[in-house]
Structures are given as structure tokens and as C-alpha cells.
Structure 1
Amino acid sequence: MADTEETGVTGGTGDRGGVAPVTGVTGAADDQRPTGTGPTAAFRAARDFLLRHREDYDGARKGFTWPRPAYFNWALDWFDRIADGNDRTALHIVEEDGTHTRHTFDALRRRSNQAANWLAAQGVRADDRIVVMLGNQSELWETALAAMKLRAVVIPATPLLGPLDLADRVRRGRARHVLVRGDDIGKFADVPGDYTRIAVGGGEEAAAAGWLAYEDAYSAPETYEPTGPTHADDTLMLYFTSGTTARPKLVEHTHTSYPVGHLATMYWIGLKPGDVHLNISSPGWAKHAWSNLFAPWNAEATVFIHNYTRFDAARLMAEMDRAGVTSFCAPPTVWRMLIQADLTALKNPPREIVAAGEPLNPEIIERVREAWGVTIRDGFGQTETAVQVANTPGQPLKPGSMGRPLPGFEVVLLDPVTGEPADEGEIALDLSARPVGLTTGYHGDPDRTAEAMAGGYYRTGDIGSRDADGYLTYVGRADDVFKASDYKISPFELESALLEHEAVAEAAVVPAPDPLRLAVPKAYVVLAAGWEPGPETAAALFAHSRAVLAPYKRVRRLEFADLPKTVSGKIRRVELRERTAEQGGGAAEYREEDHR
């Protein structure tokens, strides 16, 4: 591989061993205690406590307390402290063509300072909202740190989004700035609003269209002076996430709920200083911030990224070996593709491997254990929270169980009828012991927030069961939302999109089993007058779906049929789900791959 950029790296392919002491901050690797007072010391004390109890679940549960500072800015009070003079690799990106980029902690401190200074010069102020739509590229991490330093609010967006989704984010998020890849500037041509347009790698085309060049930031000063204090409960991130209503929810996180809350995620993964962590996740989704930003850098570990356009298990394992990956997190879709390859091609398996999204099939866990000698550990969390329940390092695992509550999380199961604690019911968090790693609510939607926080509990909308040893097993969603290729899908959103087509009178979307993706969206459609069921109509609806929905949302199966309804006229999706699961596709089903 050839280096495209190397900023202060001391050598090696991933700094797996020979960890140098961190300059300017007490190191946890040698178990020294923090000195001084203030938010950094409190954060470090909590972090170091979890590191010392990595494999002592009972001790961690009993002794851990959340740091709850009045003022805290993770980029300034934590990252910059551990990064100052630190020449270990913080970010290592390998591209599909074999080129790679490494940035040291200190380099990212300086580059994010430049970005903060330059963004401020372009008018970015505290509390301004910025839609950030970048891929796994250096600028994504620079701008995340820079926005925190500026006390601006980031609205993460995946590059998969189209103009309709982006218009919704700009409007409901009240975005004053957008920062996107040069390849995506065309998506904003019809997105209304008076917002600053910033492009990364846009070149002359972007400049001609009035976009500012992010690259100009690298001429800004490398030192940054904060303009004011950061309150711990100031808004840091606004995440759009699919729900059961027509509009995605807007989840609000603060300068502590994610940065501090993901101490729990660090603990679940088992990260420690000097690790090289690979998390496969797309930018724009909460899991990316979980495991590609906060958890690894809370632990002073290296974030490793392998970019690819098409998944190649053999290539991924080769890059893991080259980089010296010590911890690995992947969604179930990736695990299902990995076991189809020769897992023994990975010569140095990671010490820690975890999965999140939905429970893994026992066969997958066993095949990985046989090949690598390591057991995949499940974890459960949401965009609204850090990881709540998980199998943590060094603890006994039970087949099918997602583990036990993380330190700092008091989890109860609420009976769906009585609302009282039970051994099976809705997974909820006790707000009398409110964890730091919990959303403040749904931005701009007090009714939804009140519903989610009713009765002294935060209600996840997921159902679980608890055994006599306190292990929790995931049962399923309490509503109709489902996962497809590890993305959460809202049936109502897809149905609304289908109803925009003149051929559709009614539609209902449910998950259809798929051997690779676990599930894909299937639509049952009642046609409008004048339209006949058949391959031509199916092709028209698939084309419409591709045009108006992001790729991960679009309808993959379709069937023309009447819809079962309740007496009050509500569609009974549960019947459609059961029918789909029992009967499969059949002759009446049309598939998108046959109608392109």
C-alpha cells in the first residue's frame, strides 16, 4: 500500500503494540490516578474505573457512577487533552485501491482547530445546526471535533439520502449550514433554504455553483480559543431516525449523553488504550458515532476504517491483519457474509468481537468461534441511548441472550398490560436512576417525548425477557418497525412513498425473509381504478420506489392483494407478516431484481 497522507505517525501499521505514554494527561494504561479537579478529571476517573474492571462485571456494576459535570466539552476537555503532543495513530483509513491515510491524535487536534477557526470565519456560531453528509474520510472526524469546539449542533446524514430526505432535514432541523462531499452537491439543487454551502473535494464545479471549499480550512491557525463555556446539557447532535409515523423522529443528544454515555459502549466492546478498533458502519447513523468516534477515543484507541464499494470478506480480513485490528464490531449482515468465506484466512483474530442490530444466529457465533477462537458478544442499544444491555468481556454467555444491563443502566421490563415490572415485557430504563447515556427527548415533539418517558421510565418500544440470572433475551419490536440490511425501516414511511404513485390506492409494508439481509421490505398493494396487476405495473412501482426512496429503504418485493383490516379500518400488518413468513414469495410475488 502507498501512503496518501501521513501526519506525524511514528511508524507501524496500526500501533498495536509498544503504546507510548500520553503527553499532558495521566495515562490509564499504567493505572495512575487522575490528578486535579474539573470535568476532565471526573471523566477520566470514571473511564479508568471501567478499564480496571474490564472483566469484573459485578464490580463494575456495583462501583460505577456517571460523571455529571455542569460544563463539559468532549473535544476540548477530553480529546485535546489526550491528543496534545500524542504521536500515536488516532485514525487509519485504507481505501479500496490500497492507499491509506493515518492521522495522529495531535494532528487531528490541530486539524480540527483549523476547521473550527475556518468554520467560524464562515459564520458558524454556537447553537447553529450543521447537516454533515460525508463518507468515511478524514474530514468527517475533523468536522465532528470542530463542531463540538464551536458548540454547534451536528445533524448527521448518510450520503445515501436523496433530495426529499435532505429537504426534510434542513427544514425540520433548522439547518443554517450544510457540509457535504463534492459528489453530492447536486442533491441540494432543489433543497430550499438560506444555508451556507460547504463542499469537500468539490473543485471548480462546486465553486461555480457557489459552494465554499472546505480545503481552505487548512490555511487557518492551528490553535483555537473557545468563545464561551459549554454547558453539559447543551445540544450536540440531532439524529433523524425512522419511526412508525410519517416523519422520522428527531433524537436530541447533549454534550454528555453521547460523549460520556459511550463509556458504557467502550466497556461493552472491551476497548483499552492502544487498541486498533474496526467498526463497520455507515456515516450518518448513530452506530457510527458509537464505535467510530466516542467509544474508541474514550479508550485512547485507534479508529481503523476500510473503505470499499463492494464487500469482499477476504480483502477485509487481509486489511485487518495488516492493521493489527484488536477489536471488531460488525452488524449481522456483515457476519452473515463473513461466514461464507474462509475465516481461517484471518491469521491474527481480534481479541474482542461484538455485534449489534439484532440477535445473531447461533450457527454464526459457533462458526466464528471455531475459526477464530473468539466469541461474538451481542449488545443492545438505540439511537436514543448508548448500549444498555450486553454480553461484556470475561463473562459467561448464554445462547440467544443479549446479556445483562451495563454499568450505569437500570433496566426493567414492563408488563404491556399492567405497566408493572415483570420477567417479560417492554425494555425500559428507570428514570429515578437516569443514565447519562440517554436522549433528552425528541426535538420539537413534546408529546412523543412525554409518551416515551411516561411513568418514570424511558420506554424503548422493544420487548425482552429476563431469566433467573438476570440475563435478557430480545423478543422483538413492540410496533411494526423492522430491520433490513441492519437499517431500521418504518413501514408507514414506505407506504406513504408508494401512495404518491397514481397506481396505488392502498399499501402495507412488512418484512419479507431474506437469506442475506435477514429481511427486505415487501409491499402489499391495492391498485387504483384503471390499473391492472401484472409485471408492467410492478415494474412501474419498483421504478417509483427507486426514484423517491434511499437505496436502503426501497421496496424489494411486491404483491397485489387486498389488505386485512380491523373493524375500525386499521391495517392488520401482523396478519401480513405472518402470511409472508409462512408462505414465502409464491407465484403472486414480484421481485425488484427482475424488474430493473
Structure 2
Amino acid sequence: MADSADQEFAYQEFAYQEFKAARDHLLRHRGDLDGARDFPRPRAEHFNWALDWFDREAAGNDAVALRVVDLDTDGGVLRETALGFAELSRRSDQVAGWLAAQGVGRGDRVLLLLGNRVALWETMLAAIKLGAVVIPASTLLSPEDLADRVARGAVRFVVAEAALVGGFAAVDGLGTDWTGITVDGPAEHWLRYEDAYAHEGEFRPSGATRADDPLLLYFTSGTTSSPKLVQHTHRSYPVGHLSTMYWIGLRPGDVHLNVSSPGWAKHAWSNFFAPWNAGAEILIVNQPRFAARPLLDAMARLGVTSFCAPPTVWRMLVLEDLTRWKVPLRELVGAGEPLNPEIIERVRDAWGVLLRDGFGQTETTAQVGNPPGIEVRPGSMGLPLPGYEIALVDPLTGVVVTEPGAEGEICLPLASEPLGLMTGYQDDPERQAEATAGGFYHTGDVAFREADGYVTYVGRTDDVFKSSDYRISPFELESVLIEHPAVAEAAVVPSPDPVRLSVPKAYLVTAPGHEPDAETARSVLEFARARLAPYKRVRRLEFAALPKTVSGKIRRVELRGREHDLHGGPEAPARGPGRGTTEFWEEDFPREQP
């Protein structure tokens, strides 16, 4: 028995020291990307991030690890909970022991349906310690979505908020064998999570965790197709998010705020692994409905040093006079979709801090980015991050594109062992084969690279389209459109045209104080025409709400389908009911014709 305990301690110590060496190397090489890329990769056969890293770093550490602030509708503080690293380590041990007593074991699938509450972090840590496989899910999913996740995810346990239990009625008819655990309230036939706090006895893991054992199963947000089920391991996400930590620029003791909903990969990126890899505090600000001013008030009061938000949030924040809030910010980043240069400039003018872009996916961690200390090029995503090599591949020929400025699909050479790459799409061999064809992982995103390696995003392979035989990047056109003061959000798609095959059409959401009328349409079209090459000209626009995934990404695939229905499709462009009720074409303003 003693030999077994000694052996266990030996591999845990090795895994800890190996991970710490990699983390510390990246911290030392802040601002030195070339030096950072030479970090020693953790390759231990056995690794359990919660046991071998978090608990070791938490021992005797009372610094705040997690602070959750709940605001009311007026921005007042309803409650504020702060837990230190040592306390979270102890509480997650207690929850792990209780879950084990309920039958949760190594490899069991646990569906996690919780908002930003302390139980979410306790359960994540506990599940990792147990070797269970976590399936994070959004609290906004429909009953049909939940049934799909339980069935395709082969779920054995569900941990959900009491208010969401009713959504599982459709799941009950599946005939699957699962156990429900409810948080913050009772539910018939469900166990009570709060009973975990009364559990007694020291938690002992059931055995060693292999680094390549499955840890997470993520359903993608489905911007262009049905959700895929992405599998990550105890190595790919905990270790992989060293690249994310480096991109954000996190340091021990930072107060890090990330606006992201639980259930999506970005939440694990920036609200779990990356901050705690660095030893930073995770700050959560919960609002009944997003409002910029209360969030900014909380950031100033709580001393936020690093802040991450998706472009949707940044677009709302820049509508405020940001100079009114004195926040000790050092790092600002955006992720989820590319950042428009106009937003970056507005933030820098207000706060004097550069808002930096980055790129990654549910299938990976941060692949490309602008980490602290490098030159930031307007419109560029930056450079490959530590742990990643990038190749641009012609989608038609499969040949690597090497000419500066030539476009290609962003791909990861599999031979380079990408740091945070998934192990694959669960139970979907066709998608897996397509995603890894030719010795590359294919991201489905198009970019071009400058001679010195800087990568600039063009668009999703499904979103880039041709007009009069010219390739059009929706992102480039959208970046111009949102510079207009009347435009809060924009999405560009091809609109069928009998002459040009298709023309760029913009769906727009107006900013406060502007009406979705002909006068605004004329102004926006004139503005875009003056700033875009003739072949890129936005020739049609429509004021309408933008369809989005639950995680907030624009579903251009729906808008493309709507254009086909309205205007008949390129094969028969005369068909269709005609224009939308708030749609305007450049032909409506004849005086503006060249």
C-alpha cells in the first residue's frame, strides 16, 4: 500500500512540476513571443489538473479565486460571494466525495446546466477530480436541445438549476437511465446538490487519471450546421489553455472579468482554465439583462485588471462614454468573432489600452492572437501562439498557400501536435475525417498571411462569396459599415442578382437615436460607397434583427437562406416575393449612381 501511495505522489509531483515549468516559462517570456514558443510542453502520462495543479497551488492560499457579484435590474448589488483558492479546493473535495457516494465514477457523463453560480465551479473541479466527463450546456437550451444532449452525450448524471428541471420532461420519454441533481431548490425525484455541503469524510481519488482520458464534451454553437460534439482530454484543455493565458496576458493576482455564458467553450477558456493557470482571480458579474453602465461600475469598483468580451458586448460598451469609468485595466481582449477596427480605436481613445484580437475554436484553445508586447496591426488577428503552427491551405486543391497575401483556410498541421486540439468529433467519423483530411486540422475559416507572419481573418469558408467573380469577405464590409454612427451591428451576405450572380447585402441593426428608414439607408450606402472598392460595394441593405446562436454568434446561414427565399436564388433570380419591408437598394437613390 505504501508503495502505491509513494508511486501516486511521484507522478503527481512530476505532473505538477512539469506544468508549472511550462506556465512559468510563458510568464517570464511575456512580450517575447519567440522565446515563449520554446516553452517546455507538459507530456506527463498521468495528469489531473484539479488534483495536480489547482489543489497544489491552492494549499494554504487564501487569495480570492472566485468572486461572484449578482446585480439587480438597477445595477445594485444583491449579493457578493468571494472564495479563496484553499476554500474552493476544500469545497470541491466535499462535492466530489458526495457525488462519488451518489454513484458518479470515472468516465461517467455529467451534463452541467448551471448559470454563473458558485456551484458551477465546485462541480467542474469535483468532476475533474473524479475523472468524470463533463458536458457543459447553456441554460437557454430548449427541451429538444436538452433531449439531444442527453441522448447523444450518453448522459448518466444531470446537475441543473431547479428552475430548469421542467425542461427535462422531453428527456424522460427517451428511456435513458440518468440521475438528476438540482441546485437551489427541490424537485421531485431529483437529488439536492446542497446535501453535498454536509458530506463528511476525506475525499480520495479512485486512481490515476491518464492525461489522454476524456474530460469535456462540448456541443458547438452551430453557426452553419447542426451542433457537433467535440471531445477534449485532461491534456488538451487544461494544458492547452496555457496558450490562452499567454494571449490574454494574465498574471498571478490579476482580477480577470470575462463576459461569457456558461455552457460554451469560451467560458472554460476565460472563466476557468486560463485564469487559474495563471493564479488570477475570476470575477463574475451577473445581470438580469445586460446593461453596459452597471457592468462598468462593477469593473471600476472591483479593480478589474484584465477584461475579455465578445464583439457583441464591445459594440454595446462603446456606445457609452468610457472615459467616465476609471478602471485599472492592463489587458483587453475580444474573442468569439473578429473585432472590427473601429471598436478597437474607440476603446483605445477612451481608456488608452489596446483591445487585442485573438482566434480559436471550441475544437482548440487560442491558436492565433495579439499577446502583450507585440506590434498590433489594424485588422490582423496577430501571430500563431505558443503551442500552435498555422498553415493556410487552398480549400480546392489542398495545397499549402505560401505567397504573402494569398488566401487559404486556416489549418493546423497534425504533425506539429497542436497543443489544445480536440481528440475528435464524438461518434461522427465522417466529420472527423473531413476535419483532419490531408494531415491537417481544418478550421473552416479563411485568412491571409503577410510576409512577416501576421494573419488576417477573411471569413468562414461558408460565408465568403463571389460577386461578379470577385471574392467578398463579409467581415471586411461589416467593419466599414459599423463605422457609421447609425449602425450598431451588421451582417453581410450574398443577395441573388441576375447580372452579377450575387451582390453584397447588409442586414443592419440601428444604433440608439437612428431610425431604420430611407434617410438612414441613403446615408449608410453613401458612407460605404466612399470607403469600399466598386466591386465590394454594398448594393442592398435591410434593417432587421440579426439571427444568432445561443452563444451570441451571428447565423449568416439563416440570412443567406432568407435572401434565397426573397430573391429567388442565382439559378432563377426573378422568383421570390420581392423585398423585405425595411429593405433598400442603391437603385432607390438614383442621384447617387455613378
Task: Name the TM-score, length of structure 2 as normaliser.
Answer: 0.77
Q: Does 1:364 align with 2:343?
A: yes
* Separation (CA, whole Å) in 2 of partners of 1:562 and 1:150: 55
Q: Residue 310 and residue 244 in structure 1: after superposition, are their counterparts in 2 closer, same or farther (change >3 A)?
A: closer
User: Which of 416, 433, 438 matches 1:455?
Assistant: 438
Aligned to 1:114: 94
Partner of 1:173: 153
Q: Does the Cα contact within 8 Å between 2:221 and 2:550 map onto a contact in 1?
A: no
Q: Could you tell me which amino acid in structure 2 is paired with residue 378 of structure 1? A: D
2:507 aligns with 512
Identify the match of residue 583 of structure 2 among 560, 570, 586.
586
Matched length: 490
Q: Does 1:321 align with 2:300?
A: yes
Match of 1:257 among 233, 236, 242: 236
SS at match of 2:62: coil
Q: Is the CA contact (8 Å cut-off) linking 2:12 and 2:47 kept in structure 1? A: no
Cα deviations by residue, 1:80-125 (Å, 9 ceiling, x for unpaired): 0011111000000110141200001011101101111111111111
Answering whether residue 435 of structure 2 is matched by residue 438 of structure 1, we say no
SS in 2 for 1:95: strand
C-alpha distance in structure 2 between counterparts of 1:289 and 1:178, whole Å: 19
The 1:417–1:86 alpha-carbon spacing in structure 2 relative to 1, beyond 3 Å, is same
Task: Give 3-state SS (helix, strand or coil) of 1:380's partner.
Answer: strand
* Structure 1 unaligned blocks of 5 or more: 1-34, 492-509, 518-541, 589-596
The one-letter amino acid paired with 2:192 is A
* Separation (CA, whole Å) in 1 of partners of 2:225 and 2:318: 37
**2:410 aligned partner:** 427
Mapped pair 1:191 → 2:171: yes
Distance of 1:235 and 1:448 partners within structure 2: 19
Matches of 1:166 and 1:513, distance apart in 2: 32
- For residue 28 of structure 2, what is the aligned residue in structure 1? 52
Q: State the alpha-carbon separation in 1 of the partners of residues 391 and 581 from structure 2.
A: 36
Post-superposition CA distance 1:370-410 (Å, at most 9, x none):
11110000000000000000001011110000000001101
CA contact (8 A) 2:211 2:233 kept: yes
Q: Any idea what the Cα deviations from partners look like across 1:452-486, whole Å, max 9, x if unmatched?
A: 111111110000000011100000001259999xx
- Matched residues in 2 for 1:274 and 1:349: separation? 13
1:564 to 560, 565, 569: 569
Structure 1 match to 2:131 = 151
Are residue 471 (structure 1) and residue 451 (structure 2) matched?
Answer: no
Verify: 1:163 aligned to 2:143, yes or no: yes
Equivalent-residue separation in structure 2 for 1:319 and 1:292 (angstroms)? 17
Q: Distance in 1 between matches of 2:167 and 2:437?
A: 39
Q: Which deviates further from its counterpart, 135-144 or 337-346?
A: 337-346
- Listed as ranges, the matches of 1:160-239 within 5 Å are 160-192=140-172, 193-203=176-186, 206=187, 209-221=188-200, 223-239=202-218
- Structure 1 residue 511, shift from structure 2 partner: 8.4
Q: Secondary structure at the match of 1:190?
A: helix
Residues 509-588 of structure 1: matches in 2 within 5 Å? 512-515=507-510, 561=566, 563-564=568-569, 585-586=582-583
TM-score (norm 1): 0.77
Q: Distance in 1 between matches of 2:422 and 2:374?
A: 28
Give the partner amino acid of 1:178: V
Counterpart residue number, 1:64: 39
- CA distance, structure 1, for counterparts of residue 247 and residue 226 of structure 2: 32
8 Å CA contact retained: 1:125, 1:150 = yes
Between the aligned partners of 2:509 and 2:392, the Cα distance in structure 1 is 30
Q: Percent identity?
A: 58
Alignment of 1:90-105 (within 5 A): 90-97=65-72, 98=77, 99-105=79-85
Q: Does 1:385 align with 2:368?
A: no
Deviations, residues 397-434 of structure 1 (Å, cap 9, x unaligned): 10000000001101010022321221420000011111
Counterpart of 1:417 in structure 2 is 396
Check conservation: 2:66, 2:83, Cα contact below 8 A: yes
CA shift, 1:245, in A, is 7.4
Corresponding residue SS for 1:216:
helix
Tell me the distance in 2 between the aligned counterparts of 1:333 and 1:310: 14
- Partner letter of residue 564 of structure 1? G
Deviation of residue 59 (structure 1)? 1.4
1:322-360 deviation per Cα after TM superposition (whole angstroms, max 9, x unaligned): 111110001001111111112012212410000012222
What is the correspondence of 1:120-131 to structure 2 with a 5 Å cutoff? 120-131=100-111
Rounded to whole Å, the distance in 2 between the matches of 1:45 and 1:365 is 34
Provide structure 2 residue ranges, at least 5 long, that are not aligned to the other structure: 1-10, 465-473, 479-490, 494-504, 513-544, 586-594
CA shift in 2, pair 1:516/1:310, >3 Å? farther
Q: Provide the C-alpha distance between the structure 1 equivalents of 2:226 and 2:344, rounded to a whole number of angstroms.
A: 36
Cα drift, residue 41 of structure 1: 0.5
Instruction: Give the 3-state SS of the residue equivalent to 1:267 in structure 2.
Output: helix
SS of 2:22's equivalent in the other structure is helix
Counterparts of 1:245 and 1:473 in 2: how far apart (Å)?
21
